[in-house]
């Protein structure tokens, strides 16, 4: 098979020819057709996450068709289209797994981080952590749902039922989540990089009530805010934007240090929360709603060999929505 491999942290991925992987017991092999390019991939490549497996094939928004079944796999068939997400395996026996909180498993495996991912034309996955996708929608359109969509959904659930929702960082996750929230009859207040008028117009085109820079205040206090952007200084900004009793949810796997802030902006029962990974139930709940909501993902496609260009464009914010590698 061919793959784009991270052989050393903080260096470009390298085009590499490798033997086809074989699925073990309980595993499937997927012929990859599309793989989303997630900001978490940048954190892996840039060495911002601890203890990565290197060399590693990044990518955890994988769409493809099963072309080999390991022993004991049930409920999936050869040729079936599936999605492979970030959470690739859990131990099933630690206290968090027993409490149905597998996203906090003590011994997890993560696709594209501690096991090879989808920047390749073949990928092996634990069959229990693959989502059947059916035949509706294109592979390219579905790929961003496997992380940007899922983490956005989990963040929305944790944010609560408030109507006025602020989204800080209007990229892949936020442009999907905005459509979900508007379908739920909420109001979206989109915060982009200062003076990013193109991004703000993109948010308005999806139905945002208001869009402005992260250095601006919303026209009304927010019920909740979700931070997808990585600068830690957005945390006190978002706390100042939410009403009494409001929630601020940090949705990224990595964020720069949060500066000190006065207790007064947390007081009055405001809550500061974080989201970690996802559960299979998150995936099943969200993907079941996608056809009903009618989510449209805006994607920019790149050939697999141009994965470094896609990562560079993501880092620089050169596109709207999500980037997807077409394999």
Per-residue tens of pLDDT for the chain, all 327 residues: 999 999 999 999 999 999 999 999 999 999 999 999 999 999 999 999 998 899 999 999 999 999 999 999 999 999 999 999 999 999 999 999 999 999 999 999 999 999 999 999 999 999 999 999 999 999 999 999 999 999 999 999 999 999 999 999 999 999 999 999 999 999 999 999 999 999 999 999 999 999 999 999 999 999 999 999 999 999 999 999 999 999 999 999 999 999 999 999 999 999 999 999 999 999 999 999 999 999 999 999 999 999 999 999 999 999 999 999 999
**Do 242 and 282 have their domain in common?**
no
Is 68 found in the same domain as 37? yes
For residue 83, the model assigns a pLDDT of: 98
Closest to 118 measured CA to CA, from 195, 250, 13: 13
In CATH, what number is assigned to the domain containing residue 215?
A: 3.40.50.720
State both tokens at 1.
Answer: 């098979």
Instruction: Give the range of the structural domain holding residue 248, as residue numbers without chain letter.
Output: 149-274
- Residue 169 in contact with residue 226, Cβ under 8 Å? no
139 plus 153 within the same structural domain: no
| CA pair distance 147, 206, nearest whole angstrom | 20
In this structure, are 225 and 284 located in the same domain?
A: no
Backbone φ and ψ for 77, nearest 5 degrees, come out as -130, 155
pLDDT for residue 125: 98
Residue 29 shares a structural domain with residue 136: yes
For residues 35 and 138, state if they share a domain. yes
Total domains present in the chain: 2
Beta strands in 231-286 (DSSP E): 242-250, 271-274
Same domain for 62 and 172, yes or no, is no
Based on the fold, state whether residues 269 and 298 are members of the same structural domain: no
Residues 241, 286 share a domain: no
CATH of the domain at 289: 3.90.180.10
CA distance 107 to 88: 11
**Looking at the structure, do residues 98 and 112 belong to the same domain, yes or no?**
yes
Residue 279: its pLDDT value, please?
Answer: 95
Model pLDDT, residue 217 = 97
Domain shared by 80 and 119, yes or no: yes
SS3 108: coil
């Amino acid at each position: 098979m061919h793959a784009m491999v991270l052989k050393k942290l903080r260096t470009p991925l390298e085009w590499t020819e490798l033997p086809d992987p074989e699925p073990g017991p309980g595993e499937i092999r997927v012929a990859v057709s599309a793989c989303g390019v997630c900001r978490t991939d940048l954190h892996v490549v840039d060495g911002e996450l601890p203890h990565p497996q290197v060399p590693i094939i990044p990518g955890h928004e994988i769409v493809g068709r099963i072309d080999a079944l390991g022993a004991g796999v049930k409920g999936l068939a050869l040729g079936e289209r599936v999605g492979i997400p970030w959470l690739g395996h859990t131990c099933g026996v630690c206290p968090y797994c027993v409490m149905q909180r597998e996203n906090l498993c003590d011994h997890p495996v993560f696709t594209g981080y501690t096991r090879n991912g989808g920047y390749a034309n073949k990928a092996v996955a634990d069959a229990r952590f693959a989502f059947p996708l059916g035949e509706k929608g294109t592979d390219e359109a579905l790929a961003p749902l496997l992380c940007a969509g899922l983490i956005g959904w989990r963040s929305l659930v944790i944010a609560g039922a408030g109507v006025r929702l602020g989204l800080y960082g209007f990229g892949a996750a936020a442009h999907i989540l905005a459509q979900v929230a508007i379908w739920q009859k909420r109001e979206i207040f989109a915060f982009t990089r200062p003076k990013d008028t193109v991004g703000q117009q993109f948010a308005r085109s999806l139905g945002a009530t208001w869009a402005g820079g992260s250095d601006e205040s919303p026209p009304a206090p927010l019920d909740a805010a979700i931070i997808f952007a990585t600068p830690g200084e957005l945390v006190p900004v978002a706390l100042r934007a939410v009403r009494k009793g409001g929630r601020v949810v940090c949705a990224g796997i990595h964020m720069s240090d949060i500066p000190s802030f006065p207790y007064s902006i947390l007081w009055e029962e405001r809550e500061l929360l974080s989201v970690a990974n996802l559960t299979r139930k998150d995936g099943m709940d969200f993907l079941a709603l996608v056809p009903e909501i009618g989510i449209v993902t805006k994607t920019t496609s790149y050939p697999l060999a141009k994965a470094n260009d896609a990562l560079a464009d993501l880092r620089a914010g050169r596109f709207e929505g999500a980037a997807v590698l077409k394999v």
